[in-house]
Amino acid sequence: MTKRNQHVVPRNDGWAVKGAGAERATVVVNTQQEAIERARNIARHQGTELLIHGRDGRIRERDSHGKDKFPPKG
């Protein structure tokens, strides 16, 4: 299985969870919250990043679940 960052993106019929570079969605659900939960589980399992897009398509939030090569100090 290829590890891909997970994106939560808006669609006309709801919200989709898509792996980075994938043409097809992993899953399409009705609410953004449900899509975030699904994508977060995938990202945790794979050790990748979760990128949450707003209705305008722009990234509004990021959440890393991998091993950070440059963790914050303090």
**Closest of 43, 61, 39 to residue 52, by C-alpha:** 61
Tell me the pTM. 0.85
- As a whole number of angstroms, the distance between CA 5 and CA 35 comes to 14
CB-based contacts of 26: which residues, under 8 Å, 6+ apart? 6, 16, 17, 18, 19, 38, 42
Full pLDDT tens readout for the chain, 74 residues = 568 999 999 999 999 999 999 999 999 999 999 999 999 999 999 999 999 999 999 999 999 877 666 666 65
Q: Is 45 helix (H, G, I), strand (E, B) or coil?
A: helix
> Cβ distance 39 to 28 under 8 Å?
no
